Chain A
């Protein structure tokens, strides 16, 4: 089955982890710390180092009262908000409460920022609230993948755009079958330990993607749903790509 390329392939982070020539992969669970600046910096400490894990953003941001799984590429020679930069970075707030994660670091007195009250991700701004344009029809089978946060089945803004594109691609194509498979994976942490997702999250993931495809307009009768309590086939490391929902599209024979 062919891969789709950059549009909706297994996420960019996995590619960067594999190909990055500078920086070092990191994966750890820690309490996030919120620095109350104009940029609203998020920091996290691991192995005696403080990392910058992002600023104000819409999607899957860190949460106080929850530990966070941080996966990405650390660049020791780059700093943001006074901490080592991780770029790209994938943030997964852990579902259960942890009252020890409640650090708000003081404001450093920076001025108000420019712009609007909301800064939306580029993917969302590009859509400008409109529908995804109708993609060209498929001429061969295609595999899509949507990567979700650790132990969660919520579709963030980026995934919403991906699924809409997948659905409209299917709807524009002569499709015989769509196989939606939810996976439960995990992450291999820097200290050598492995954390694994709850098995039931695979089914929840499958259902949210399946239901979204059908709600957008993919015919229910061509959708087949599966749940696999293991990472997707070919996934070599335990990381974000182990937590995918795969959508295999089988085109109708002419």
Chain B
């Protein structure tokens, strides 16, 4: 092991030790205290006979989330999104719950465990357990799902291209630590007769899809990697790649097929008619936060946050310009007073803001404080400069380091996704920057000498999830995932693809430490309020 490797190994060991304590502190294990009848009442089981209203609201930890069906109410009976079509009695809705912003929160996962335990198909052995060979029904067998909302994703190794041909990887992968036992299992593991790698990831939101898969041609090039974007055979449009974190399925239809065959254990997957029906449903469902417990409604006082604004918005717009703000729904809360109170230097000159906002004189002190805080958080997100370092592929494209803002990467208007789009290694799963996760597998990557190395981690890398590299086999892709949308955040903790941030404060703290930003506690609170309002 070279000097770099030794240093990395020491960092990993220290991280694991600290992480063992941090993980215990961050994630409570008392299910009963976080379970409420209201949470369970909102869960839509697979096969339920319900009527999802045109506009439904759900209480979440900081306020209310709204789910808006732009085409009107949806009957769940007989609908392929809601029917248990697979062998394990799961439906799409099992893991994409309206009350959880069409994703899944640990809060509701725990409520389901307390109520039904392993009888709920959510906990199916295939991916709702840490490994299918573990005794179903014991809490410890489902700890990653119950503690961090993580599902097991089993991927072939070496990887296959879309035609099923084996890709010769640019690196060797070794299992250093295997707390779930799955990666070293003789049936499911890396050395089995059907070698596979198990990583653990959060489900993404299945809503606001016109932003995720824009129905208009994107540019020809993936501008950061210099590759031509693939064509969608159905539409002839160039594909962005924002659908899945690792890009293994590039369209929503492809994702449906993959998910129905794997997560739902459905022989053959969804039929073309079912795919079309699910796609139609997902392209008309919008979700976003609409009230805050202390601040009240988010669509008053000049702001117009909520899912209807998402229905009316235009996808794939870059919002890094004052004339085209990132979250126009919030701009109405920003005033001269707030802009002049900032104690940091913006990257670019702030645009002029009005002296007061609509109805400001009649705001309660609590309301005013909340709106001010959200507005400050928004300005920080859009304009507060800091040095972004060692993020593959971002820094290779615009300089390492680069002075930018949060919106530099989270640049798509109204969603905070990346218009470019692209796979970035932010460092949430690669050491030394990853939050320690002793409950997750740890892999060592050794990149071949004739392959381009990872630009900032070199050729010997430790990671809990190699991300995009498990699909491409490229060393430079290790740790890369696609930025996900920032809407409905309050309803679907925890965050990051690996569930490493239990709440929004942990998200901000990660960035603060990662980029040495130096946020004050007030700034962190403002950013948390801003993100919670989305």
Contact = CB atoms under 8 A, between A and B. Distances in A.
Given A57-B399, A117-B407, A63 B228 contact: no
Contacts of B223: 157, 160
Contact of A117 (B219, B348, B396, B452): B348
Contacts of A216: 220, 228
A211 B227 CA distance: 9
B348 A114 contact: yes
Interface string B418-450: 000000000000000000000000000000001
Contact of B400 (A63, A117, A160): A63
A156 interface: yes
Contact of B225 (A40, A42, A154): A154
Interface string B374-415: 000000000001010110000111111111110110010000
B452 A65 contact: no
Contacts of A117: 320-321, 347-348, 404-405, 407-408, 411
A40 B100 CA distance: 42
B227 A56 contact: no
Contacts, number: 113
Contacts of B226: 154-156, 159-160, 208, 212
Nearest to A117: B320
The CB with the most chain A CB atoms within 10 A, among B320, B390, B397, B411, is that of B397
A163 to B, nearest CB: 9
Interface string A48-64: 00000000111101111
A215 interface: yes
A116 interface: yes
B456 interface: yes
A76 interface: no
A96 B460 CA distance: 12
B453 A96 contact: yes
Contacts of A172: none
A192 interface: no
B349 A57 contact: no
B345 interface: yes
Contact of B228 (A113, A152, A212): A212
Interface residues of A, number: 46
B398 A63 contact: no
Q: How large is the interface on B (under 10, 10 to 19, 20 to 34, 35 or more residues)?
A: 35 or more
B458 interface: yes
Contacts of B453: 95-97
B213 to A, nearest CB: 18
Interface string B354-374: 000000000000000000000
A231 to B, nearest CB: 21
B353 interface: no
A168 to B, nearest CB: 10
Given A112-B348, A114-B349, A117-B348, A64 B228 contact: no
Nearest to A97: B458
Contacts of A212: 226-228
A141 B70 CA distance: 56
B221 interface: yes
B346 interface: yes
A34 interface: yes
A39 B400 CA distance: 14
Given A116-B320, A154-B225, A65 B456 contact: yes
Given A113-B347, A211-B228, A61 B400 contact: yes
A113 B348 contact: yes
Contacts of A118: 318, 320, 408
Contacts of B347: 112-113, 117
B137 interface: no
B1 to A, nearest CB: 16
A56 B453 CA distance: 24
Given A63-B396, A208-B227, A216-B228, A112 B349 contact: yes
A143 B219 CA distance: 27
A61 B348 contact: no
Contacts of B389: 64
A3 to B, nearest CB: 25
B346 A63 contact: no
Nearest to B228: A215
Interface of A: 34, 36, 40, 42, 56-59, 61-66, 93, 95-97, 99, 104, 111-118, 129, 131, 152-157, 159-160, 164, 198, 200, 208, 211-212, 215-216
21 contacts: A36-B387, A40-B402, A40-B403, A57-B398, A58-B397, A61-B399, A93-B396, A97-B458, A111-B345, A112-B349, A116-B321, A116-B348, A117-B404, A117-B407, A118-B318, A129-B219, A131-B220, A154-B226, A155-B227, A157-B223, A198-B450
Top 6 closest pairs, chain A to chain B, by CB: A155-B226, A61-B399, A215-B228, A117-B320, A63-B400, A116-B321
